[in-house]
Amino acid sequence: MASKSVSTVSRREANKLDKRARLREAAQRLFRAQGYEATTTRQVADEAGVASGTLFLYARDKQDLVFLVMHEHLRVASEEAFATLPRRATLLAALRHVFSRLYAMYGRHEALARHFVMSLPGADGPNALEVNALTFGFLQRLATLVEQAQARGEVRAELAPLAVANLSFELYFTALLRWISGLATIEQLPDVVGGSLQLLFDGVAAG
């Protein structure tokens, strides 16, 4: 009886994950093919092969579908960035490496990424909250890089790693805002954030 119950729960969870993936892929195809404004939630549901009402179990509205799509892109890009960190990289080089990988991802999905960045302030749908949780985990990983830099003597030991991580992330996001405002191209962002980080580290470097 117990194993049957576990099996039923597993099938139910697998079905939920499958529908979520189908909706994410359908939304991405339609956003890419016809743009955000022209795409409707009904079209996404039809493309994914689910009922319109079912879609709203996975995304609150069309904007939240953007967060559903971008969450996966951010997750994959972040994992790839940390997995390919050069060994013995300085903190500045490590942060530039990670941020550059994320900027490259935004460049590959430019139209949707612009809408995503502009929609971030105040977004509170379920997938927006998932993005917020992903961002918090990302900040924790940046803080670990800071801790490692402190152990190497690059950063003053009395500084809170998460505070340095937050400042670095703010510079990263400010560069994104320059991009969507037309003040920099996506290709220029690594240099933009690199220069800002250098200014920051001139104030926190040990010695």
- Calpha distance 65→44 (Å, rounded): 9
Q: In which domain, by residue range, is 46 found?
A: 1-58
Answer with the one of 11, 39, 58 that is the final residue of a domain.
58
Same domain, 38 and 127: no
Q: What is the pLDDT of residues 104-148, one digit of tens each?
A: 999 999 999 999 999 998 899 999 999 999 999 999 999 999 999
Same domain, 130 and 88: yes
- Calpha distance 114→137 (Å, rounded): 22
Residue type for position 142: L
Q: What is the pLDDT of residues 65-117, one digit of tens each?
A: 999 999 999 999 999 999 999 989 999 999 999 999 999 999 999 999 999 99
Same domain, 135 and 86: yes
Same domain, 19 and 77: no
Return the CATH number at 156: 1.10.357.10
Domain total of the chain: 2
For the chain, report the end-to-end CA distance as a whole number of angstroms: 66
Entry pTM: 0.90
